[in-house]
């Protein structure tokens, strides 16, 4: 499983970095002979990596519609921790947004027969493609690398948000980020947020910030555009330098399961 995830984690990017935009693992489920529904699995809790849910929703609905599975039987979105406390290995080892598809049940005799048909498999593949296109149309928001400073015990984080949508679209000069979705945390402490929709500049502050003994802290930034697509990356490592008044920031991987300490 780590080898499969490594393909996505180490994929070369045009900007010189590494990490795929998305990892998808495609499967067919097994269970009772009557079961035949579509599920899309994400890792951990629903708010660990929100972009996973954004794409999962589109692909899940597209598959259910194309394959005519029993979509009303249960939610198409599932956490892998419903199966195992540590989740699925292939999702747990992914450092980028990742989902696992259980398109249908091959243990259902009628579905098993359909899966032997090349045209039916093409229909399934096209449904995945269509779901991805619908997701891509709504963009993936991001932000500039945050700048961090510390003065008189006040931690300040500054970044510029990007709604992930083409600036050339009609209305591209209007606000396309939902202000109500903006939140910033450092080590799980909520920061006071000031967002200017005109220049998309975000300034977050936390008073009485105590520099951790390890001089590192975890920063989280969350927001969504008007398609309700969430930003990536969402997690950053802050390193406070020896002067105690400046921080250095670097992106972190998506949150993943950590085994309990002994």
100 and 169 in a single domain? The answer is no
167 and 247 in a single domain? The answer is yes
The alpha carbon of 185 is separated from its chain's Cα centroid by a whole number of angstroms, namely 17
Q: Which CATH number goes with the domain that contains 65?
A: 3.40.630.40
What's the confidence (pLDDT) of residue 214? 84
What's the confidence (pLDDT) of residue 203? 99
- The predicted-structure confidence for 7-26, as pLDDT tens digits, reads as follows 999 998 887 788 999 999 99
* Domain boundary residue, one of 137, 160, 192: 137
> For the chain, first and last CA: distance in Å?
25
Q: Which CATH number goes with the domain that contains 240?
A: 2.60.40
Q: Residue 121: count other Cβ atoms within 10 Å of its Cβ.
A: 13
76 and 156 in a single domain? The answer is no
Residues of the chain with pLDDT under 70: 244, 261-262
201 and 216 in a single domain? The answer is yes
Domain that holds residue 212: 142-251
132 and 187 in a single domain? The answer is no
170 and 110 in a single domain? The answer is no
* Domain boundary residue, one of 104, 137, 170: 137
- Domain assignment of residue 258, yes or no: no
- Residue 46 and residue 121 in contact, taking contact as beta carbons nearer than 8 Å: no
47 and 130 in a single domain? The answer is yes
Cβ within 8 Å of residue 194, ≥6 positions away: 202, 203, 204, 205
- Domain assignment of residue 49, yes or no: yes
What's the confidence (pLDDT) of residue 262? 60
- Residue 93 and residue 15 in contact, taking contact as beta carbons nearer than 8 Å: no
128 and 163 in a single domain? The answer is no
113 and 39 in a single domain? The answer is yes
What's the confidence (pLDDT) of residue 66? 98
Backbone torsion region of residue 60, taken as left when φ is above 0, otherwise alpha when ψ lies between -120 and 50, otherwise beta: alpha
Q: Residue 15: count other Cβ atoms within 10 Å of its Cβ.
A: 6
- Domain assignment of residue 256, yes or no: no
124 and 204 in a single domain? The answer is no
Question: What's the domain count of the chain?
Answer: 2
- Domain assignment of residue 262, yes or no: no
95 and 210 in a single domain? The answer is no
181 and 92 in a single domain? The answer is no
């Amino acid at each position: 499983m780590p080898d499969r995830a490594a393909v996505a984690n180490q994929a070369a990017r045009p900007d010189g970095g590494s990490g795929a935009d998305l990892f998808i693992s495609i499967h067919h489920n097994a269970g009772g002979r009557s079961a035949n529904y579509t599920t899309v699995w994400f890792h951990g809790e629903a708010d660990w990596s929100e972009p996973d849910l954004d794409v999962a929703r589109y692909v899940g609905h597209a598959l259910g519609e194309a394959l005519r599975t029993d979509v009303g039987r249960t939610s198409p979105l599932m956490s892998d921790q419903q199966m195992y406390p540590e989740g699925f290995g292939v999702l747990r080892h992914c450092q980028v947004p990742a989902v696992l598809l259980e398109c249908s049940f091959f243990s259902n005799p009628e579905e098993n027969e359909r899966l032997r048909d090349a045209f039916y498999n093409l229909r399934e593949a096209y449904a995945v493609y269509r779901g991805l296109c619908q997701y891509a149309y709504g963009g993936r928001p991001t932000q500039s690398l945050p700048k961090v400073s510390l003065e008189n015990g006040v931690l300040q984080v500054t970044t510029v948000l990007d709604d992930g949508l083409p600036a050339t679209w009609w209305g591209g000069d209007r606000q396309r980020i939902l202000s109500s979705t903006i939140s910033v945390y450092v080590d799980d402490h909520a920061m006071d947020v000031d967002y200017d929709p005109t220049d998309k500049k975000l300034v977050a502050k936390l008073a009485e910030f105590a520099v951790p003994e390890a001089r590192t802290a975890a920063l989280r930034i969350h927001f969504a555009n008007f398609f309700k697509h969430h930003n990536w990356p969402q997690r950053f490592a802050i390193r406070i330098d020896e002067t105690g008044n400046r921080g250095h920031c670097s992106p972190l991987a998506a949150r993943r399961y950590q085994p309990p300490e002994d």
